[in-house]
Amino acid sequence: MRILEISVRSDIGGGPKHLLDLSEVTSAENTLYIAAPSNGEYASSLKQVANEFIDIPFRKFSIFTFIKLLKVCKKNQINIVHSHGRGAGFYSRLLKLFGLKVIHTFHGIHIEKTLAGRVKLFLDKILVPLTDKFICVSDSEKVNAVNNNVTKEATTHVIHNGVIIPEQVSTASNVDFVMGTLSRLNYQKGLDILLEFISQFESKNDVKFKCLIAGGGELEGELKAKNKCKSIKFLGSVDGQNFIKDIDLYISFARWEGLPLAVIEAMSHAKPCLISNVEGNTDLIADGVDGYMFNLDSYSEFEKKLLELINNKDLQSNLGQKAREKVIQKFSVDQMAAKTLEVYKSL
């Protein structure tokens, strides 16, 4: 097959990482073309795996870019166009008008309660007939997509995000308890709530701990200015695998998710997770069984569960091991890529 993968992001994030992992597997038996911005952290790796890399604007639609993509498709006799995320979906569905087979993966659905949000939802709805197959990365995402009429039940597949599972895991050897999160520093990830909760926890509890925030984004300066906690440290861009190895607990304050890769990676390393009770996260963790969840409007719930984890190493180990077992069973890169290839072949 000759496949064009489109993403309007190549920076640090679950969607671009998913695209890279998928491409590294599917390029072995297919001719792969990748359209993405050339200046993101994943761009160089995407260029290496692609038969041809097409530079497109970051999170911006351009009619000139669309014409460029159409020419690439015609010149190279592309069979399938697979878009990742809403912005890429505008390009792929317009290409459908020129006879191409189109697959669209959402990577998280958030319905904004604003005029702009209503316009985006309207556009998503009218693009449904221009899509041959949809992929949702979690069961809860599919329910959300169907309920909001941005997909069709009959043509929608649930294919979970996957990670490369380490063969061996080790326990972090920290003097103080270390929790951490790895994400884009934007509104979705709820880091403003993290600052509020950790500030309260620091003032109310005589516990030695560190809270590490890795990643960058548009709110980095604002969040650093707001931070008054001595326990919180912003690390910027880091090696994700090494970051996860060195923490005792993975935390997430996301307001919504598709199926967060960073959480899955932490689980694959047998790290216990304390994450927000929102769509996407709920597909990963069974509260109290293989991790802990908390409601974003309840500091007391967060505090109670964090103290339980800090004070009980056996609990940390038990939750972490069960989380790793779940990832091995359901969330590997090989499973994700194989199921995606099945969708390609069904067209």
Domain ranges of the chain: 2-162+332-346, 177-330
Cα angle 334, 86, 102 (rounded to 5 degrees) comes to 65
Q: Is it the case that residue 170 has pLDDT exceeding 90?
A: no
pLDDT at res. 12: 83
Q: Which fold has domain 2-162+332-346?
A: Rossmann fold (3.40.50)
Fold of 177-330: Rossmann fold (3.40.50)
Look at 306 and 170; give whichever has higher pLDDT: 306
Tell me if domain 2-162+332-346 and domain 177-330 are identical in fold: yes
**Average pLDDT, integer, range 51-60:** 95
Only one residue has tokens 């297919």, namely 30
Burial letters for 182-210: b for 16+ Cβ neighbours within 10 Å, e otherwise? Answer: bbbbbebbbbbbbbebbbebbeeeeeebb
Q: Residue range 18-23: average pLDDT? A: 94
Please tell me the predicted confidence (pLDDT) of residue 14: 85
pLDDT value for 109 = 84
Residue 117 has pLDDT above 90, yes or no: no
Provide mean pLDDT across the span 159-167.
93
Report the mean per-residue pLDDT for the chain.
95
Number of H-type helices and E-type strands within the chain: 13, 13
Mean pLDDT of 66-76: 97
Q: Rounded to an integer, what distance in angstroms lies between the CA atom of residue 345 and that of residue 338?
A: 11
pLDDT digits (tens, 9 = 90+) for 210-234: 999 999 989 999 999 999 999 999 9
**Tens-place pLDDT, residues 242-297:** 999 999 999 999 999 989 999 999 999 999 999 999 999 999 999 999 999 999 99
pTM of the entire predicted model: 0.89
Of 312, 223, 210, 222, whose CA–CA distance to 251 is shortest? 210
